[in-house]
Amino acid sequence: MKLLQIFQVFPFFDRTVDKWATEARLLRWLTFLWLFAGLAVLFSASYPVADIAFKDGTLYFKYQLAWAAIGLLLFNAIVHTPLRFMVKISPIFLFIILALLYATHIPGLGTTRNAATRWLSVGSSSFLLQPSELIKPFLILQAAQLFGNWAKSHWKVRLGWLIVFLLVLGGILMQPSLSVTALCGITLWLIALGAGLPNFQLLGTAALGTCVAVASVTFREYQRRRIMSFLDPWQDQAGDGYQLVQSLMAIGSGGLWGTGFGLSQQKLFLPIQYTDFIFAIFAEEFGLFGGICLLLLVMIYGTIGLAVTYKCKDPVIRLIALGSTSLIVVQAILNVGVATGVLPTTGLPFPFLSYGGSSTLSCLVIAGLLIRAAREMSAADVIPFVKAKSDRQDPKNKQQEKIEASRRR
């Protein structure tokens, strides 16, 4: 309670900590369940690789545990902070992370792994930040602010922020990361759709995004090879199709009930099994039943998120809820689609399951935004920063009201 009193000194901190809507409580516990289940799955998937590479099988798990602890602190702060304050400060963080995003393209600053330069090394090569992940929550906040006030905004304001969004997507695409670019683009498009923008603008934007994706695949040979191997991975099992073949073998080996926790065999052969293909290891160890349960968790999470979106009265808060729900759920579905061979192989982590500090922080912040939106669904739940002076009654006014009341009697 003393710590809470310290936080309450700040005007942006929500003093009504006991006001939790049912949807907010459910989303909070589902987030914890998803996160802690993900830590267990990561421990199993990463142990052999970490043991071989560092002689410490728990290394990746300990790193992920530290990032999860930091993320939970941010998560707790966000669910107790009014969204209008978050929207107010979001441009500052958006531009800072945008600068970091383009800093990855500067020789000597960016760190390249698997032919992609997406990370910034901070202090040591073991401590990496991925700006394309960290920018996601602030992209949601600013898109909700822009599209939620689209009709009232001047065309110069609209154009300015649309250019910023293009710079964000362009910077991610240059790394290159077509999957993250597509995910952020889809999220922005869904927020615009939820805001009720004209159909011709939405269709034109979708067509433009499709053309950019086709152009990226056309001019990048490795992306073309991925698509060809996705169409028939068994044709080149030792080459471009190796990763997908091993993933499908892991999923198939799980059968109905799975091999058991920690007993996966394919994690010894499947590349990046603790990041982009962690779902394959999960499906092998927990089988079809476990895979269905995980997908049901994602669907329930998305359903509650959409219910929050429907109930929100403020247009900006509604779009924040829509963007947060869309990004987490769509990212999970895309990851499963890649692991099962439904979609071409891409580098997209599974929310709360895959190893990665930046991804964990980003997902927890976005989940915090969604839960905060659930707490502000009705106008009565939007808490003012400080009580206005006009709302405080003067003692003399109170005495005058009592006199007038007695006269009426």
pLDDT, tens digit, 9 for 90 and up, residues 204-256: 999 998 898 888 877 777 777 777 777 778 887 777 788 888 999 999 999 99
pLDDT, tens digit, 9 for 90 and up, residues 387-396: 334 344 444 4
pLDDT > 80? residue 386: no
pLDDT > 90? residue 291: yes
Rounded to an integer, the average pLDDT of 122-141 is 84
Residue 389: what pLDDT? 41
Widest distance between CA atoms in the chain: 95
pLDDT, tens digit, 9 for 90 and up, residues 147-179: 999 989 888 999 999 999 999 999 998 888 888
- 199: tokens are 């159909």
Q: At what angle do helices 357-375 and 83-103 cross, to 10 degrees?
A: 160
Task: Give backbone dihedrals phi and psi of 117, rounded to 5 degrees, phi first.
Answer: -105, 90
Of 139, 132, 133, the residue nearest 188 (C-alpha): 139
d(CA 166, CA 270): 35
Rounded to an integer, the average pLDDT of 93-114 is 85
pLDDT, tens digit, 9 for 90 and up, residues 43-79: 999 999 999 989 999 999 999 999 999 999 999 999 9
d(CA 394, CA 240): 76
pLDDT, tens digit, 9 for 90 and up, residues 7-39: 443 444 454 445 788 999 999 999 999 999 999
What average pLDDT does the chain have? 85
Rounded to an integer, the average pLDDT of 269-288 is 93
